């Protein structure tokens, strides 16, 4: 993943929410993996901030345990020590002033010690209600004043708002203090190897791009299923639901990358401009006809891998009468020259039979008429970009069955990226951290992307609010509500299961 071996400049990373789940499961292991790959700058300091009573020593011990448990690379003690000695913990309530005074002094001392020259990254993985308070206090206490042209930087975890209004409010607070070129809005899907590969597959191959339009593509399916339920995140999820939790961000990112026009160059803003154009062209819809293109579901009790699991309404911190959706299927259109008439089907849900994310391109069946007459069971050509857990590309086409006179069967070419020995793709957060340190915003969401995606999602959720759903409507471990299958059957199509 080294970008031509560029070493980031020395910097300090300050994590607000340093004791949280995301920090332990994802951020600390990612930083450790960057250490092993020699991708952290020599002058690097991590300051974790939390409200719990800990010392840097006890925090380091906990961090070590998390890295042991969650790192993709084996833990090498020497590599760990070299990171560990640069980790510090500061305890304070980030709503109160005294902590910021202490933090300011501490960061100045670290600047001296590690020659970090005021290069600071503030990573906010706390409830969004606190984003505004934190950035205001950082500014008031002069913690941002060592600014150069691109530092300090601020990193914001999702959710970026609950709807367009709250997202705007949040953005206003941020931009009062940080300019857009210093704001890194995380969508961790953009850090996944195969998402970055979508543009390469499209624009670095003569084979695919000429066919990438409505003349040759019948439909596109973007599917992301999970076997997990909401776990202990019921409190958050009750207000979010699958539409806000997965579709507004990850699924729409997958859609824009699949659908964008070739950018004029590969500069950050050129790519982001093209992504926004796709979102702007999402076809409008009549709220009264929402059932024709949007299906929602909520899981009831069922079985996952043979084990009985609760329904959503019985999960921790959810209401027994909850109408929050845990499943969404959509049929979308993009109103532009390339995609007019091509449905983009999106499906995502919790407690589905398998964890997997794929983009499936189904091509038209333009065949020799004689083949069409004789072989009624011909399959269309499919190109599948496998995002996770298996990463790769799968191509299905028709061939003659060996030994038969003329029998046609679907055959496949299957490139598996992470099955090859020695291939262990970087975790999304490794790439994202590395890019933040380099100041590359390509894999982060620009404000107008957020804005246009919320416009679309708000309209959908308003239409849904008017109708009471009949939940739960699918059993945990099943394929989701029947209506989601019917959505495609009505169009003479089916969801592909590869």
* Range 158-177, binding ligand BG6 (CB under 6 A): 158
Report the residue number, 302 or 349, with the smaller CB distance to ligand BG6: 349
- 84, 193, 245, 362: which one binds ligand BG6 (CB under 6 A): 245
Report the residue number, 139 or 226, with the smaller CB distance to ligand BG6: 226
Q: Which residue is nearest to ligand BG6 (CB)?
A: 245
Report the residue number, 163 or 226, with the smaller CB distance to ligand BG6: 226
Q: Shortest gap between Cβ of 230 and ligand BG6 (angstroms)? A: 7
- Binding to ligand BG6 by residue 226, rule CB under 6 A? yes
Count of residues interacting with ligand BG6 (CB under 6 A): 3
Beta-bridge partner residues of 156:
124, 185
Q: Give catalytic status of residue 250 as yes or no.
A: yes
Which one is catalytic: 24, 162, 188, 250? 250
Q: Shortest gap between Cβ of 312 and ligand BG6 (angstroms)? A: 13
* Range 22-41, binding ligand BG6 (CB under 6 A): none
Q: Shortest gap between Cβ of 391 and ligand BG6 (angstroms)? A: 12
Report the residue number, 218 or 245, with the smaller CB distance to ligand BG6: 245
* Range 122-161, binding ligand BG6 (CB under 6 A): 158
CB neighbour list of residue 303: distance below 8 Å, 6 or more residues apart: 309, 475, 476, 477
Q: Shortest gap between Cβ of 245 and ligand BG6 (angstroms)? A: 5
CB atoms within 10 A of CB 315: 22
- Binding to ligand BG6 by residue 430, rule CB under 6 A? no
- Binding to ligand BG6 by residue 314, rule CB under 6 A? no
Q: Using CA atoms, how far apart are residues 183 and 347, in angstroms rounded to an integer?
A: 30
Report the residue number, 187 or 274, with the smaller CB distance to ligand BG6: 187
Report the residue number, 8 or 241, with the smaller CB distance to ligand BG6: 241
CB atoms within 10 A of CB 215: 11
- Binding to ligand BG6 by residue 84, rule CB under 6 A? no
Q: Shortest gap between Cβ of 429 and ligand BG6 (angstroms)? A: 10
Residues that bind ligand BG6 (CB under 6 A): 158, 226, 245
Catalytic site positions? 250
């Amino acid at each position: 993943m080294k970008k031509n071996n560029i070493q980031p400049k020395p910097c300090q990373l300050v994590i607000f929410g340093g004791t949280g789940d995301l920090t332990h499961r994802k951020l600390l292991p990612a930083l450790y993996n960057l250490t092993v790959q020699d991708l952290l700058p020599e002058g690097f300091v991590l300051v974790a901030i939390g409200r719990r009573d800990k010392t840097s020593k006890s925090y380091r011990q906990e961090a070590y345990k998390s890295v042991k448990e969650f790192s993709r690379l084996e833990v090498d003690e020497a590599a760990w020590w070299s990171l560990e000695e640069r980790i510090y913990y500061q305890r304070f309530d980030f709503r109160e002033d005294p902590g910021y005074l202490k933090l300011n002094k501490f960061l100045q001392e670290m600047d001296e010690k590690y020659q970090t020259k005021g290069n600071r990254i503030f990573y906010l993985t706390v409830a969004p209600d606190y984003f505004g308070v934190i950035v205001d206090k950082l500014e008031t206490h002069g913690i941002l004043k060592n600014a150069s042209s691109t530092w300090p930087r601020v990193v914001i975890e999702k959710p970026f708002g609950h709807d367009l209004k709250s997202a705007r409010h949040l953005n206003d607070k941020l931009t009062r203090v940080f300019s857009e070129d210093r704001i890194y809005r995380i969508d961790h899907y953009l850090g996944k190897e195969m998402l970055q590969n979508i543009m390469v597959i499209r624009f670095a191959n003569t084979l695919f791009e000429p066919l990438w339009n409505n003349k040759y593509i019948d439909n596109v399916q973007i599917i992301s299923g999970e076997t997990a339920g909401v776990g202990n995140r019921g409190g958050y999820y009750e207000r979010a639901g699958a539409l806000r939790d997965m579709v507004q961000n990850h699924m729409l990112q997958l859609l824009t990358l699949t659908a964008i026009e070739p950018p004029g160059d590969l500069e950050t803003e050129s790519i982001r401009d093209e992504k926004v154009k796709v979102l702007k062209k999402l076809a409008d819809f009549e709220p009264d006809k929402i059932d024709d293109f949007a299906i929602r579901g909520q899981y009831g009790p069922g079985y996952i891998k043979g084990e009985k699991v609760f329904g959503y309404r019985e999960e921790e911190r959810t209401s027994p009468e909850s109408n929050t959706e845990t499943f969404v299927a959509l049929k979308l259109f993009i109103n532009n020259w390339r995609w007019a008439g091509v449905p983009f089907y999106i499906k995502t849900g919790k407690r589905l039979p398998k964890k997997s994310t794929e983009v499936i391109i189904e091509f038209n069946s333009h065949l020799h008429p004689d083949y069409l007459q004789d072989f009624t069971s011909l399959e269309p050509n499919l190109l599948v970009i496998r995002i996770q857990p298996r990463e790769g590309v799968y191509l299905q086409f028709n061939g003659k069955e060996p030994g038969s006179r003329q029998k046609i069967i679907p055959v496949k070419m299957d490139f598996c990226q992470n099955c090859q020995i020695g291939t262990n793709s970087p975790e999304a957060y490794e790439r994202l951290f590395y890019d933040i340190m380099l100041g590359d915003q390509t894999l982060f969401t620009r404000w107008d992307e957020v804005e246009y995606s919320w416009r679309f999602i708000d309209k959908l959720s308003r239409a849904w609010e008017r109708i009471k759903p009949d939940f739960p409507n699918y059993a945990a471990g099943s394929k989701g509500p029947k209506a989601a299958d019917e959505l495609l059957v009505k169009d003479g199509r089916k969801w592909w299961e590869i």
